[in-house]
Amino acid sequence: MLPTTPDVVLDVRNFSLRFSASEGMPNLVDNLSLTVARGQTLCVVGESGCGKSVTSMALMGLLPPAARIVSGSARFEDKDLFTCGERALADVRGNRMSMIFQEPMTSLNPAFTVGEQIAEGIRRHRGVSKEAARTGALEMLRRVRIPAPEKRLDAYPHQLSGGMRQRVMIAMALANRPSLLIADEPTTALDVTIQAEVLSLIRALQQETGTAMILITHDLGVVAEVADYVAVMYAGRVVEYGPVDAIYDDPQHPYTIGLMGAIPSIGKRAGRLATISGSVPAPEHMPAGCRFAPRCPFSEARCVETAPPDKIVEGEHRVSCWRAPIEMLEMPIERHADMQAGMGVAQHVDKHLGSAA
C-alpha cells in the first residue's frame, strides 16, 4: 500500500541538460520533474537515447565534462544535488545515495577482492575499524544471499558469475543503508533465470530497508515486476507518468501505447506486432513541438508546432499529449450518437477510416 502522505526522498524539478558543444541546440533532457518516496520504486522507462541514463548520472554528479545542467533542482534530504558541490556530493554518494550499473564487471575493480571493495565504502562513510568493516561486508554478502559468503569475501570479481557480481554490486550499494538507490538497467546483462532472482532480491531488500529506488530500464517486463510508479521518457522528456497499474491499464500517450503493442505476448500469438515507425531523433534533429510527433500516427499541426502541456488524467496519472485520450479524437462530434447506440470505438474507427484493417 502506498502511504497517504509519502515522505519524499528525492524531488527533481524542471531539470534540463545539454551538451555544451551544442549551443543553440535543443536540451537533451528537457524540463524533467519527478519525485520518489521512501520505500517506493519509480521506474524510468524508455528506449536508447531518451535521456534516462544521463539523468541518473546528473543526480549522482557523474556527468561527463561536456554536459551542462541548464536549469532545475534536485532536492535530496537537505541538499540540492545540482548545486551542493563535489565535496558534499562525495559524502552523499555510496552513503545516503548509491547506484547499481548495468555491467557489474566494468564497475568492480578487478584488482581488489569483493570483501575489500564492500568494506572500503563502509570505512569511508562510517569511519569504523578494518575488522568491523569486514564484518559489515560479510553481513552484506549474506543479505544478498550469496552462497558461502565467508569464501566469497576473498574472491576477485573475475572468479564470480555475472549474477553473483551483480549481487556484489547490490551489496556494495546497500552497505551504508542509503535512503535512495539508483539502478541503471541492473538486470539487462543477465539471463532470464538470473534476472528473476536479482529482481526478487531487490524487491525483498527494499521491503526490509525502506530504501527508495529509481530503476532505469527499457524492459516493460521489469517495470511490471518492481515499479510502484512509472515515468515514460521519450527523447529527453517525460511523456507519461503515473502509478504502475494506471500505466498498464490505462496508457494514454501514443508512445506508451505503441510500446505496449510492440512487445510480443507470452500467450497465444495475437497477430502482427504494433510498431512505432521510424526511430528516435538524433539530438541535433530534435523536433520543435512534441518530440514524438514525427513518429506519431495521431500528430497534427499543433503537435508539430507546440510542445504539449501536462494533462492530469486522474489522480497522479499525467500525460503530455495534445491528442490523448486517442479514442475521443477519433470521433467526429456528430458521431457521438453511434457510440451511445452501443458501437465500440474500434468498429467505429474501422467504419469511418474506411477498411484500413
For binding to another protein (CB under 8 A), which residues are involved? 47-48, 161, 163-164, 191-197, 199-200, 218-222, 224-225, 227, 244-245, 248-251, 254, 257-269, 272-277, 279-280, 297-298, 325-327, 330, 344-346, 349-350, 353-354, 356-357
Place of cell 565467508: 150
Between 63 and 325, whose beta carbon lies closer to another protein?
A: 325
Q: What's the min distance (Å) between Cβ of 268 and another protein?
A: 7
Minimum separation from the CB atom of position 185 to another protein (A): 13
- The C-alpha cell at 105 is 564487471
C-beta separation of 171 from 143 below 8 A:
yes
Rounded Cα distance between 135 and 140, Å, is: 9
CA distance 69 to 55: 10
By C-alpha distance, which of 346, 353, 330, 256 is closest to 295? 256
The terminus-to-terminus CA distance of the chain in angstroms comes to: 42
Q: Kindly tell me which of 66 and 196 has the beta carbon lying closer to another protein.
A: 196
What residues are paired with 34 via a beta bridge?
12
Q: Residue 87 or 285: which CB sits closer to another protein?
A: 285
Q: Which is nearer to another protein, 126 or 145 (CB)?
A: 145
Q: Nearest approach, Cβ of 78 to another protein (angstroms)?
A: 33
Kindly list the distances between the CA atom of residue 216 and the CA atoms of 54, 100, 273, 290, 350, in Å, as whole numbers in the listed order. 11, 10, 24, 23, 38
> What is the secondary structure of 123-149 as a DSSP string?
HHHH---HHHHHHHHHHHHHHTT-SSH
Q: Which of 73/325 has CB closer to another protein?
A: 325
Minimum distance of another protein from residue 239's CB (angstroms): 13
68, 18 contact by CB (below 8 A): yes
Query: β-strand 317-319 against 229-234: which pairing, if any?
Result: unpaired
Smallest separation (angstroms) from another protein to the CB of 227: 7
Neighbouring CB atoms inside 10 A of 93's CB total 21
Of 31 and 252, CB closest to another protein: 252
Residue 323 CB burial class (10 angstroms; 0-12, 13-18, ≥19): buried
- Of the pair 91, 314, the CB lying nearest another protein is at 314
Task: Tell the smallest beta-carbon distance from residue 138 to another protein (Å).
Answer: 21
Q: How far is the CB of 297 from another protein (least distance, A)?
A: 4
Q: How far is the CB of 218 from another protein (least distance, A)?
A: 6
Closest approach of Cβ 153 to another protein, in Å?
A: 18
Beta-carbon count within 10 A of 208 CB: 10
| 143/139 Cα distance (integer angstroms) | 6
Contact residues for 342 (Cβ-Cβ < 8 A; gap 6+): none
Q: How many residues does the chain have?
A: 357
Query: Which residue lies nearer to another protein by CB, 56 or 195?
Result: 195
Smallest distance, another protein to C-beta of residue 220, A:
7
Q: Which residues of 16-32 are buried (b: 16+ CB within 10 A; e: fewer)?
A: bbbbeeeeeebbbbbbb
Task: CB nearer to another protein: give 70 or 224.
Answer: 224
Amino acid at position 336, single letter: H
What residues are paired with 14 via a beta bridge? none
Which of residues 210 and 297 has its CB atom nearest to another protein in the complex?
A: 297
